[in-house]
């Protein structure tokens, strides 16, 4: 029997360890060493046990605390979204989780890769998912899809996986269709427009192309995922994707050293380092030390607008900071920590407050002047704010941690926060003007406006092209043409572009022969010759007439062709799990409009455990 105290203890331990961790600022992928691998292995076993306990509870009288222990849940309160998704909310915030909770995904296929992708989306808390697949469970599925069992053989694969997936998260709605993917493309376009994202998993190029055309025209994100043996690929096709917060790693602090606002200027003016005691000096926030060093820098240059722009200038600022330090008379020790922080921060803090190229391109886009989409409405308001405020974006409003007495740090933090709120209110006023001009009503809330202004320097827009395999194959061939490596490197490591070309050649092999290379018991050596012919055909179609293809073909080694045949189109669960996890993260990025999605192609090579991204 499981004691309630055991469940409470394990949940408390998880929270204790979680509280000790630094803030999560990026997606986490498993790996890093033997210990990490063992933990992941143990976690997978626990999840497998949990999935086995759920159906067992329906048929047998077992202790319900067993499931709670496995699932780390103590009371019904933990079934609230605010508790269930607590750890991931730390990554993308309440607004991000709300976006995920309104996301509906249509997935074409229900094989191992599709199931692993959906598993991560279901656990993340999407609103709903819809599986489309006319396949039935076969013996081969059991070995590569952990969600299927022997008694599922002969059943609809879509229904069997749906059943298992919905057990993972009772708040997520799931449905399935046993029709083929091609049948769905013939349905009303409005059917596709109801989904937040459509995912094609291991579909043919013809199916991908049909969906891509329809979805591109109605601006619904389309994600193509494929795996073959040790290779996995992801291709994101979207007309326009707006990013409200790119979550730039280690962003430069917004201290406005070159453009202080009124209240900050007043506090700087009343700060006199010479009148301070040693104790007061030791607890002066380094932002004030920076401003005082800047004053001295300008005096030395006899230029009230001088600002350090070179490394040499910034080193001079560091020397000025050193000159501010004083020895403590009774011990001879120097005030240090805040000055050390000030000197260390000089190189990053002393930068002109400017607008980055990506934000500038957004503010000058024609979409700002015409679009009625919420993102572009507030961007037009932001543009008007910038015009009215000497080319400055709204203040971010946050201060980095720094050594300081509580009174001065609190005062600084309060004035930065108040200035940020005032800037956001001004942007909101401009937003209401834009909304009225375009007749769309109040679509931007005050909270959304404040959050947008806080991250105004991290907004981005991705524009993509329509999926076109013919054009992209030519670009892949161009990449192969540019490869210049020695023979040993070529033999030891296959370039990502080569794997994509081989997967396209394998798709053509399947279309023409009705099977994948390396299947039906045909020797690899025979299929390798046939696959090579299709590689040659793809290259010839992609180059100028009469161009010698041998230099390009030389980069597609016989060993790589043989390896593609050796795969036999097998799906390895470890590859499906890894690539499916990455695909689900990309879908979440698209849903939350946070972080920067892949632009637009991702390739994972299980041989070397390396990945590559590039735009086609």
What confidence score (pLDDT) does residue 547 get? 85
Do 286 and 403 form a contact (C-beta atoms < 8 A)?
A: yes
- Alpha-carbon gap, residue 148 to 144, rounded angstroms: 9
pLDDT one-digit tens code per residue, 58-90: 677 777 777 767 766 433 344 455 566 777 777
The 3-state secondary structure of 132-144, one letter per residue: ECCCECCHHHHHH
If DSSP codes are grouped into helix, strand and coil, which group holds residue 201? strand
Domains of the chain by range and CATH? Answer: 4-81 (1.20.1200.10), 88-245+575-614 (3.40.50.720), 262-349 (no CATH), 357-463 (no CATH), 469-568 (no CATH)
What confidence score (pLDDT) does residue 18 get? 66
Rounded to 10 deg, the angle between the 469-482 and 524-542 helix axes is: 100
What confidence score (pLDDT) does residue 78 get? 41
Do 225 and 580 form a contact (C-beta atoms < 8 A)?
A: yes
| Pick from 492, 476, 475: nearest CA to 563 | 492
pTM for this prediction: 0.81
What confidence score (pLDDT) does residue 427 get? 96
What confidence score (pLDDT) does residue 79 get? 44
Determine the number of helices (DSSP H) and then strands (DSSP E) in the chain: 28, 10
Please list the ranges in the chain whose pLDDT falls under 70: 1-4, 7, 18-32, 58, 68, 71-84, 184-190, 327-335
What confidence score (pLDDT) does residue 187 get? 63
Side-by-side strand order, sheet with 197-201: 173-177, 128-132, 104-108, 197-201, 222-228, 231-237, 601-605, 610-614
399 phi/psi in degrees, rounded to 5? -110, 145
What confidence score (pLDDT) does residue 31 get? 56
Residue 583 gets the label, from left (phi > 0), alpha (psi -120 to 50) or beta, of: alpha
pLDDT one-digit tens code per residue, 27-59: 555 556 777 777 777 777 877 777 777 777 767
Do 131 and 114 form a contact (C-beta atoms < 8 A)?
A: yes
Residues paired with residue 327 on neighbouring β-strands, in sequence order: 334
């Amino acid at each position: 029997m499981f004691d309630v105290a055991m469940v409470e203890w394990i949940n408390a331990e998880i929270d204790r360890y979680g509280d000790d961790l630094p803030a999560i600022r990026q997606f986490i992928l498993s790996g890093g060493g033997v210990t990490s691998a063992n933990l992941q292995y143990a976690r997978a076993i626990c999840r497998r046990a949990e999935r086995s306990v759920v159906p067992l509870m329906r048929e047998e009288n077992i202790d319900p605390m067993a499931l709670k222990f496995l699932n780390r849940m103590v009371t019904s309160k933990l079934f609230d979204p605010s508790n269930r998704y607590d750890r991931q909310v730390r990554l993308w915030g309440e607004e991000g989780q709300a976006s995920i909770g309104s996301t509906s995904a249509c997935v074409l296929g229900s094989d191992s890769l599709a199931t692993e992708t959906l598993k991560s989306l279901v656990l993340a808390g999407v609103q709903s998912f819809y599986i489309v697949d006319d396949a039935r469970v076969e013996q081969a599925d059991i070995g590569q899809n952990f969600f299927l069992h022997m008694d599922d053989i002969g059943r609809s694969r879509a229904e069997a996986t749906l059943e298992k997936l919905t057990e993972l998260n009772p708040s997520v709605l799931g449905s399935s269709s046993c029709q083929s993917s091609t049948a769905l493309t013939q349905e009303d376009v409005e059917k596709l427009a109801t989904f937040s994202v459509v995912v094609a998993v291991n579909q043919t190029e013809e199916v991908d192309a049909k969906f891509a055309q329809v979805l591109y025209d109605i601006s619904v994100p389309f994600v193509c995922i494929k795996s073959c043996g040790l290779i996995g690929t992801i291709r994101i096709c979207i007309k326009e994707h707006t990013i409200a917060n790119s979550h730039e790693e280690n962003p430069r602090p917004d201290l406005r050293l070159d453009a202080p606002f009124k209240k900050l200027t007043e506090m700087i003016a009343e700060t006199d380092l010479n009148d301070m005691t040693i104790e007061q000096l030791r607890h002066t926030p380094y932002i004030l030390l920076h401003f005082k060093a800047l004053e001295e820098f300008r005096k030395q240059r006899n230029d009230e607008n001088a600002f350090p722009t070179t490394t040499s200038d910034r080193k001079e600022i560091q020397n000025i900071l050193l000159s501010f330090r004083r020895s403590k008379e009774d011990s001879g020790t120097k005030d240090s920590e805040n000055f050390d922080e000030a000197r260390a921060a000089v190189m990053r803090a002393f930068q002109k407050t400017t607008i980055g190229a990506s934000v500038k391109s957004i503010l000058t886009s024609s979409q700002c002047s015409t679009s009625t989409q919420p993102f572009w409405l507030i961007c037009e308001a932001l543009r008007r704010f910038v015009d009215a405020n000497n080319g400055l974006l709204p203040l971010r409003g946050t201060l980095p941690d720094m050594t300081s007495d509580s009174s001065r740090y609190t005062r600084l933090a309060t004035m930065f926060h108040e200035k940020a709120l005032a800037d956001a209110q001004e942007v909101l006023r401009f937003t209401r003007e834009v909304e009225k001009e375009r007749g769309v009503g109040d679509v931007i809330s005050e909270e959304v406006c404040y959050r947008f202004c806080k991250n105004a320097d991290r907004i981005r827009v991705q524009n993509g092209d329509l999926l076109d395999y013919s054009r992209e194959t030519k670009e892949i061939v161009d990449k192969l043409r540019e490869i210049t490596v020695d023979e040993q490197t070529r033999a030891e490591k296959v370039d990502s572009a080569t794997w994509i070309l081989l997967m396209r050649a394998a798709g053509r092999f399947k279309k023409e022969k009705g099977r994948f290379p390396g299947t039906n018991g045909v020797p690899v050596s025979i299929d390798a010759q046939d696959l090579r012919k299709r590689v040659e055909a793809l290259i010839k179609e992609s180059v100028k007439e009469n161009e010698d293809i041998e230099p390009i073909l030389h980069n597609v080694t016989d060993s790589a062709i043989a390896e593609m045949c050796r795969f036999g189109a097998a799906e390895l669960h470890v590859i499906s799990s890894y690539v499916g996890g990455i695909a689900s993260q990309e879908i979440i990025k698209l849903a939350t409009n946070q972080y920067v999605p892949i632009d637009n192609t991702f390739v994972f090579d299980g041989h070397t455990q390396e990945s590559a991204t590039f735009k086609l």
